[in-house]
């Protein structure tokens, strides 16, 4: 069997939160241990598709994300961390692939459709403001993957249609120009979406319901104190339902050793919400402490971050250059050395 290459990405639109950590980063940490080539793309070009008017935000978050990723235990010796915009071959491939997908197919892509709907709900727009770049981001993802011969792609269920789009582009390319590209496979995450402090189905960067790994102890305390609990519980000794309580939900992430007690005390009216929140704050801060310490180290050593990003990007680019050359040969657009 040919060696697999794993590729995944994250958009520099904000810091890493618990949703990313338990939904994605934990899997990446396991994957980087299996010895296969593993690329982690900081997708700044993709972040610009819907943040094009906020270049400072995207710029700042590239380094912030690198700091977060390293602080969580992503190891640059095992994982190639690179910046998308600094590998221009990806943009080049995006242009080539844009001929291989129809506009109506992009509009029909369920992931794109859901995101367009969300944008309309948020901004009350009628779709007129959907840009060519936004509509085409699945094409650029196909370029991200194929530029490194990515063959195993860790995804959440909601992202499967993006991978399917990439596979279609690969098949069409290979049919027209010859068998060059690798058809990637999805590696479906078994972690469900992590919910937000407000009970929302998704903890999201922009939803105001996230606990970020970069939050201070004080901020964590404030956020957890405001988290949604069982609204039927009024008095301290009322019996409650932990299944509808976000505080219990996060106990399940960071307080595994004490879970049964928390659950049974809650159900039997033996623990008040304030005490329960205080315990969670303590456990959350214990969980975040080593990450916070590493973050502080990297914040004081920006040169270490720059080095990781530069070396990772250099390594990634060398691969993309050679893949792009082969692609151009097959497309008969390589005229001289």
* Contact set with ligand ATP (CB under 6 A): 10-11, 13, 19-20, 23-24, 156, 193-194, 202-206
CB of 12 to ligand ATP, least distance (A): 8
Which CB sits closer to ligand ATP, 29 or 172?
29
Can you tell me which residue has the tokens 């027209």? 176
Q: How far is the CB of 19 from ligand ATP (least distance, A)?
A: 3
Nearer to ligand ATP, 94 or 209 (CB): 209
Q: Report the residue number, 203 or 221, with the smaller CB distance to ligand ATP.
A: 203
For residue 95, the minimal CB distance to ligand ATP (Å) is 23
The smaller minimum CB distance to ligand ATP, of residues 162 and 323, is found at 162
Least Å distance, CB 265 to ligand ATP, is 28
Read off φ and ψ for residue 152, nearest 5 degrees: -130, 120
Residue of minimal Cβ distance to ligand ATP: 23
User: In angstroms, what is the minimal distance from the CB of 279 to ligand ATP?
Assistant: 23
Neighbouring CB atoms inside 10 A of 24's CB total 20
Distances from the Cα of 198 to the Cα of 18, 26, 32, 72, 78, angstroms: 14, 23, 33, 25, 36
Closest CA to 210 of 9, 52, 60, 22: 22
Query: b/e for 214-225, b at 16 or more Cβ within 10 A?
Result: bbeeeebbebbe
Q: Which residue lies nearer to ligand ATP by CB, 138 or 324?
A: 138
Task: State which residue, 81 or 194, has the beta carbon closest to ligand ATP.
Answer: 194
In the complex, the smallest distance separating the C-beta of residue 65 from ligand ATP, rounded to whole angstroms, is 9
Question: If you write DSSP's letter for every residue of 271-326 in order, what string do you get?
Answer: S-HHHHHHHHHHHHHHHHHHHHHHHHHHHH-HHHHHHHHHHHHHHHHHHHHHHHHH
Q: Which is nearer to ligand ATP, 205 or 294 (CB)?
A: 205
State the nearest-atom distance from the C-beta of 99 to ligand ATP, in Å: 26
Structure tokens given for 29: 């940490």
Measured over all CA atoms, what is the biggest interatomic distance in the chain, rounded to whole angstroms? 79
Measured from the Cβ of residue 190, the count of other Cβ atoms closer than 10 Å reads: 6
């Amino acid at each position: 069997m040919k060696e697999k290459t794993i590729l995944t990405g994250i958009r520099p639109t904000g810091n890493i939160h618990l949703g990313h950590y338990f939904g994605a980063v934990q899997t990446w940490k396991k994957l980087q241990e299996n010895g296969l080539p593993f690329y982690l793309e900081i997708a700044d070009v993709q972040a610009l598709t819907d943040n094009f008017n906020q270049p400072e935000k995207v710029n700042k978050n590239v380094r912030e994300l690198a700091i977060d990723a390293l602080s969580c235990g992503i190891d640059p010796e095992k994982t190639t961390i690179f910046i998308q915009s600094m590998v221009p071959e990806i943009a080049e491939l995006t242009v080539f692939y844009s001929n291989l997908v129809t506009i109506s197919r992009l509009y029909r892509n369920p992931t794109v459709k859901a995101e367009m709907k969300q944008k309309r709900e948020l901004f009350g727009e009628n779709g007129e403001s959907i840009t060519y770049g936004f509509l085409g981001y699945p094409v650029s993802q196909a370029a991200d993957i194929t530029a490194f011969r990515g063959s195993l792609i860790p995804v959440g269920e909601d992202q499967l249609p993006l991978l399917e789009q990439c596979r279609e582009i690969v098949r069409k390319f290979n049919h027209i120009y010859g068998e060059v590209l690798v058809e990637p496979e999805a590696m479906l995450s078994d972690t469900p979406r992590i919910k937000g402090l407000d009970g929302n189905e998704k903890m999201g960067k922009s939803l105001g319901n996230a606990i970020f790994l970069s939050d201070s102890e004080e901020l964590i305390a404030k956020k957890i104190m405001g988290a949604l609990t069982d609204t039927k519980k009024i008095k301290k000794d009322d019996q409650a339902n932990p299944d509808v309580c976000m505080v219990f939900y996060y106990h399940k992430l960071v307080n595994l050793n004490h879970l049964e007690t928390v659950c049974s005390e809650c159900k039997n009216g033996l623990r008040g919400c304030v005490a329960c929140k205080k315990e969670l704050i303590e456990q959350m801060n214990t969980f975040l402490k080593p990450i916070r310490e590493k973050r502080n180290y990297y914040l004081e050593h920006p040169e270490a971050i720059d080095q990781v990003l530069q070396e990772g990007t250099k390594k990634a680019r060398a691969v993309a250059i050679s893949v792009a050359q082969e692609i151009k040969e097959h497309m008969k657009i390589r005229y001289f050395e």
